[in-house]
Amino acid sequence: MFVASFIVVTIAVSAAIAQSNNCGSDFTFLVQDQQDANTVSKCGTFDGAITIDRGAGPFIDFGSVETITGTVTAQNNNILASLKFSNLTSLGGLELVNLNQLVELDLSSLQNSSSGLNMYSLTSLILLDLAKLESTSNLVIQSNSLLTNFSAPDLVHINGTNSFLDFENNAALTTIAFPRLVDVASSNAVFSGNIQNISFPFLTNIAGALTVTSTNKNFDCGPINNLRSSFIVKGFVNCTSGDAELSQQPVPTPSSATSSATVTTSNAISSTTSSVMNTTATSGPITASPNPSSGVSDSGKIGIGVGVGIGGALVLGFLGFIVWRRWRQSSYKLTQTSRTAEPGVSDSVEPGIAMSQEPGVAID
């Protein structure tokens, strides 16, 4: 009886130890199928890193796990179509690269990520849920072909040691919304693609530079420039729209033009607002307000004035010469006429010869 009881207790303790070991490891835990994911799902907290195998899928659901302290990595998997962390609230990091069949990524309960969320070349991704994300050290979404809209409605801080915000080469992505984002604490923010709308109405700080490159010719760079002139962006601001660069300046001149569809970007400290673009994907495209240079520069005006003055002086001098010449000719003719008309004087007689000779006497 004693021996049987001892065996039962030993089995129970061994199972508990095994279960405990499955919830944490000094080594990376490999997920090859849903059964492995179920092992993680049984843990409230999984203390360690997880790698999803290239052959895992097509559906992987980590179920009830709430905390993963390490980084979840999946690379070069052409099978995985759905990846779910429905109850996960805290994550060390996420590194997803070249998952060509991934359509759905569920992080709907995630609130913070200490090492950041990095997603590269998820060419089939359509559904990305980050509804409750509040803080992350960085957020990168690059080369995702089908994602059209992105929103992180509760994201407030991007505040890691080398934090950055990077949305590049997402061909279909037109609308990006950060309704509560306050700061990008220590680095840069980069956006590129066919972008129509970017909104962050409560942004107060980007510690580094802000670069926006939109292939949409109607994208208005003016409100982006205002983020530098109001000292929200501490580094340079570089904004381009279509094929032509509209602004590249450390301190841009704010554009006074606004489009018919705008979003308000306000500084929570100074309570200043500036127009950026529409927060909804259903509004019409933003109409760019061109800002061509007008008028003549001061140096141009001076040159024109000098030229006109010299030209006027030459014209007046020429006219004066003509008048003087005509006056001289007229004076000469008057002199000759007066001499010819003088009584008793003949042009054929030498000066000093009197005209008192007797009649009939010839003059030699």
DSSP state string for 286-349: PPP------S--HHHHHHHHHHHHHHHHHHHHHHHHHHHHHHHHHHHHHHHHHHHTSTT--TTS
- In three-state secondary structure terms, 11 is helix
- Rounded to an integer, what distance in angstroms lies between the CA atom of residue 236 and that of residue 229? 10
Q: Tell the burial category of 359 from Cβ atoms under 10 Å away from its Cβ (0-12, 13-18, 19+).
A: exposed
Tell me if 334 is assigned to some domain. no
**Tell me, what DSSP letter sits at residue 160?**
S
- Alpha carbon distance 255, 310 (integer Å): 40
Per-residue pLDDT of the chain (364 residues; tens, 9 = 90+): 443 443 333 333 333 333 445 798 778 999 999 999 999 999 999 999 999 999 999 999 999 999 999 999 999 999 999 999 999 999 999 999 999 999 999 999 999 999 999 999 999 999 999 999 999 999 999 999 999 999 999 999 998 777 889 999 999 999 999 999 999 988 899 999 999 999 999 999 999 999 999 999 889 999 998 998 889 999 999 999 885 443 444 433 333 333 333 333 333 333 333 333 333 333 333 333 344 444 455 555 566 776 767 877 787 887 777 877 777 766 655 555 444 444 444 444 344 434 444 444 343 4
What Cα–Cα distance (Å) separates residue 320 from each residue in 93, 323, 326, 329? 90, 5, 10, 14
Q: Is residue 303 part of a domain?
A: no
194 close to 217: Cβ distance less than 8 angstroms: no
Q: What is the pLDDT of residue 44?
A: 95
Query: At 225, which amino acid appears?
Result: N
Residues 212 and 77 in one domain: no
Structure tokens at 289: 């307000």
Q: Which domain holds residue 185?
A: 145-290
Contact partners, residue 4, CB within 8 Å, separation at least 6: none
Cα–Cα dist 46/76, whole Å: 24
Q: How far apart are CA 116 and CA 96, in angstroms?
A: 11
CA 294 vs. chain centroid, Å, equals: 25
Q: Mark which of 290, 321, 344 sits at the end of a domain.
A: 290
- Provide φ and ψ at 210, rounded to 5°: -125, 120
H/E run at residue 50:
strand 50-52
- Select from 285, 156, 281 the least CA-distant residue to 219: 285
Q: Is 252 exposed, middle or buried (0-12, 13-18, 19+ CB in 10 A)?
A: buried
Domain identity same for 208 and 229? yes
Residues 156 and 125 in one domain: no
Number of domains into which the chain is organized: 2
Residues 108, 151: one domain?
no
pTM above 0.75, yes or no: no
d(CA 311, CA 79): 82
CATH of the domain at 124: 3.80.20.20
Q: Are residues 123 and 195 in the same domain?
A: no
What SS3 state is found at 258?
Answer: coil
* End-to-end Cα, the chain, rounded Å: 188
Looking at the structure, tell me whether residues 45 and 165 fall in a common domain: no
Please check whether residues 32 and 97 belong to one and the same domain: yes
| One domain, residues 152 and 196 | yes
